[in-house]
């Protein structure tokens, strides 16, 4: 049997244990465990890497704790706007969506685009029309709104700034040796209406290629886009033959003199080696290889 592996992240933040508190920490750990299990079960049952990353990300989109789907960040105009993408390492097909408001699971819409559209990226109204054409579940605005995110927006408006917020993602290797990556986000708190980050940009926030690696990023989207972090990991592995962990660190630190903001990511290579790199105080993350016990972590230790 080939190794099968899933790695997930629920975002990276500059918060301490005191900031989060023990109750919220326990809730985050449960959320990560549920998402990891959803993807792992698919791989364990001979399912595809694409289905596994979708299932893991979808679970986090349904959990108000994570900034994707339900509980997504508010824009400056008190709206929720979602971006997501997914890529299959075997076929190099990808699907991405940006600026949708009503689709319950943007990652499922991205996967439907991968499977059923001749395009890669659909935005806004056109993406929502495509979702309705394919009978994907939509929700009213109230479904996505949470007091937690409203408080974050009010606080951010008072401070007259834009606040980075989490993105969720997953990378997987299935029993047939296929890689996949998926990423989903509610964007930044107090972002300009219509702003799109790195998440739906293939080669930036998400990338997968069976020959080389699969990557999902979280952090300051503008910086991740400008540094093309996903593809930079790919290049470090493909051309410099770096181990996946070293490639993640190199990609995140490329152009540090010109591009500010944290760059955090998870990655997998075709042999099932895991790369996890983050520059913040914490990264919500979890992984499981074959039938080994799952690992769930938040802080460095």
For tokens 């959990």, name the residue: 63
Q: Give me 64's structure tokens.
A: 């108000």
Please provide the distance, in angstroms rounded to a whole number, between the alpha carbons at the two ends of the chain: 32
Buried b / exposed e along 122-138 (16+ C-beta atoms within 10 A): bbeeebbebbeeeebeb
Query: In angstroms, how far is CA 45 from the centroid of its own chain?
Result: 23
3-state secondary structure of 28: helix
Tokens, residue 301 = 């230790």
Active site residue 59: no
Burial 183-208 (b: 16+ CB within 10 A, else e): bbbbbbbbbeeebbbbbbbbbbbbbb
Q: Catalytic: which of 48, 59, 156, 167? A: 167
Q: State phi, psi for 279 to the nearest 5 degrees.
A: -110, -5
d(CA 277, CA 63): 24
Catalytic residues: 167
């Amino acid at each position: 049997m080939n190794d099968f592996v899933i790695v997930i992240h629920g975002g990276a933040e500059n918060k301490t244990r005191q900031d989060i508190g023990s109750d919220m920490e326990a809730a985050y750990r449960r959320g990560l465990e549920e998402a990891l299990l959803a993807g792992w079960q698919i791989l364990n049952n001979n399912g595809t890497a694409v289905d596994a990353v979708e299932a893991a990300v979808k679970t986090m989109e349904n959990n108000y704790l994570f900034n994707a789907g339900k509980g997504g960040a508010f824009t400056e105009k008190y709206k929720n706007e979602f971006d997501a993408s997914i890529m299959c390492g075997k076929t190099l097909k990808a699907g991405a969506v940006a600026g949708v408001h009503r689709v319950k699971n943007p990652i499922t819409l991205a996967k439907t685009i991968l499977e059923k559209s001749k395009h890669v990226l659909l935005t806004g109204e056109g993406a929502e029309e495509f979702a309705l054409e394919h009978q994907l579940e939509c929700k009213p605005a109230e479904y996505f709104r949470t007091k937690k995110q409203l408080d974050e927006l009010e606080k951010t408006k008072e401070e007259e700034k834009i606040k980075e917020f989490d993105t969720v993602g997953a990378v997987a290797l299935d029993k047939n040796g296929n890689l996949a990556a998926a990423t989903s986000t509610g964007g930044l708190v107090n972002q300009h209406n219509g702003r799109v980050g790195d998440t739906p940009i293939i080669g930036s926030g998400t990338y997968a290629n069976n020959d080389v690696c699969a990557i999902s990023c979280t952090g300051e989207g503008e910086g991740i886009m400008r540094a093309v972090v996903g593809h930079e990991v790919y290049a470090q592995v493909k051309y410099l033959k770096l181990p996946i962990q070293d490639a993640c660190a190199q990609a995140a630190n490329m152009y540090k003199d010109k591009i500010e903001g944290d760059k955090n990511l998870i990655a997998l290579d075709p042999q099932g080696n895991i790369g996890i790199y983050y520059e913040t105080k914490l990264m919500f993350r979890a992984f499981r290889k074959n039938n080994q016990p799952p690992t769930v972590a938040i802080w460095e230790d």
